[in-house]
Amino acid sequence: MGKMIYLDNAATTKTAPEVVEAMLPYFTEMYGNPSSVYDFAGKSKDAVTKGREQIANVLGAQKEEIYFTAGGSEADNWALKATFEAYKSKGNHIITTKIEHHAILHTCEYLEKERGAKITYLDVDENGVVKLDELEKAITPETILISVMFANNEIGTLQPIKEIGMIAKEHGILFHTDAVQAFGQVPINVDELGIDMLSSSGHKLNGPKGIGFLYIRKGVKIRSFVHGGAQERKRRAGTENVPGIVGFGVAAERAMHSMADRTAKEVLVRDHLISRITSEIPYVKLNGHPKKRLPNNVNVSFQFVEGESMLLMLDSFGICASSGSACTSGSLDPSHVLLAIGLPHEIAHGSLRLTLSEETTMEDADFVVDKLKDIVANLRSMSPLYEDFIKKQNK
Ligand SMILES: *Cc1c(COP(=O)(O)O)cnc(C)c1O
Give the CATH number, domain containing residue 25. 3.40.640.10
Residue 268 resides in a domain: yes
Judgement on whether residues 251 and 351 belong to the same structural domain of the protein: no
**Residue 15, marked binder:** no
How many beta carbons lie within 10 A of that of residue 57, not counting itself?
Answer: 14
Residue 134 resides in a domain: yes
Assess contact for 111 and 82: CB atoms under 8 A: no
Judgement on whether residues 209 and 274 belong to the same structural domain of the protein: no
Last residue of a domain, one of 238, 255, 272: 255
How far is 372 from 36, CA to CA, in rounded Å? 56
Give the CATH number, domain containing residue 369. 3.90.1150.10
Residue 232 resides in a domain: yes
Residue 389 resides in a domain: no
Tell me which residues of the chain have a pLDDT lower than 50: 326
What was the pLDDT predicted at 3?
87
Cα(213) to ligand 1 centroid in Å equals 11
Give yes or no for residue 71 CB within 6 A of ligand 1.
Answer: yes
How far is 239 from 259, CA to CA, in rounded Å? 32
Judgement on whether residues 40 and 186 belong to the same structural domain of the protein: yes
Judgement on whether residues 35 and 48 belong to the same structural domain of the protein: yes
Assess contact for 236 and 75: CB atoms under 8 A: no
State whether residue 351 is helix, strand or coil: strand
Judgement on whether residues 42 and 187 belong to the same structural domain of the protein: yes
Give yes or no for residue 181 CB within 6 A of ligand 1.
Answer: yes
**Residue 316, marked binder:** no
**Residue 301, marked binder:** no
Last residue of a domain, one of 200, 232, 255: 255
Judgement on whether residues 51 and 140 belong to the same structural domain of the protein: yes
Q: Which residues are bridge partners to 366 per DSSP? A: none
Cα(285) to ligand 1 centroid in Å equals 26
Residue 391 resides in a domain: no
What was the pLDDT predicted at 329?
52
Cα(394) to ligand 1 centroid in Å equals 46
**Residue 351, marked binder:** no
What was the pLDDT predicted at 281?
98
Q: Which domain does 356 fall in, by range?
A: 5-12+259-384
State whether residue 379 is helix, strand or coil: helix
| Half-sphere exposure of residue 281: CA atoms within 13 angstroms, side-chain side | 28
Q: Which atom of ligand 1 is nearest to the CA of 152?
A: 13
Number of residues in the chain = 395
Residue 163 resides in a domain: yes
What was the pLDDT predicted at 289?
98
Mind giving me the DSSP string for 66-99? EEEESSHHHHHHHHHHHHHHHHTTT--EEEEETT
CA dihedral 258, 263, 269, 273 (to 10 degrees): 150
Judgement on whether residues 74 and 215 belong to the same structural domain of the protein: yes
Give yes or no for residue 212 CB within 6 A of ligand 1.
Answer: yes
Cite the active site residues. 327
| Helix and strand element counts for the chain (H, E) | 14, 12
Cα(391) to ligand 1 centroid in Å equals 44
Judgement on whether residues 47 and 121 belong to the same structural domain of the protein: yes
Give yes or no for residue 207 CB within 6 A of ligand 1.
Answer: no
Judgement on whether residues 144 and 37 belong to the same structural domain of the protein: yes
| Half-sphere exposure of residue 316: CA atoms within 13 angstroms, side-chain side | 9
Q: For 213-248, give one letter per residue: b (16+ CB within 10 A) or e.
A: bbbbbeebebebbbeeeebbeebbeeebbbbbbbbb
Q: Out of 154, 180, 200, give the residue to mutate to test ligand 1, the one with the largest number of ligand atoms within 8 Å of its CB.
A: 180
Last residue of a domain, one of 237, 255, 273: 255
> How far is the first Cα of the chain from the last one, in angstroms, to the nearest whole number?
42
Judgement on whether residues 235 and 351 belong to the same structural domain of the protein: no
Judgement on whether residues 315 and 189 belong to the same structural domain of the protein: no
Is the entire prediction scored with pTM above 0.85?
yes
Residue 392 resides in a domain: no
How far is 242 from 196, CA to CA, in rounded Å? 26
Give whole-number Cα distances, 34 to 56, 227, 247, in Å. 19, 18, 16
Q: Structural domain tally of the chain?
A: 2
Judgement on whether residues 69 and 214 belong to the same structural domain of the protein: yes
Assess contact for 298 and 351: CB atoms under 8 A: no
Nearest to 105 by CA among 88, 128, 122: 122
Mind giving me the DSSP string for 206-229? TS-TT-EEEEE-TT--PPPSB-SS
Residue 44 resides in a domain: yes
Mind giving me the DSSP string for 270-293? HHHHHHHHHHHSSSEEE-S-SSSB
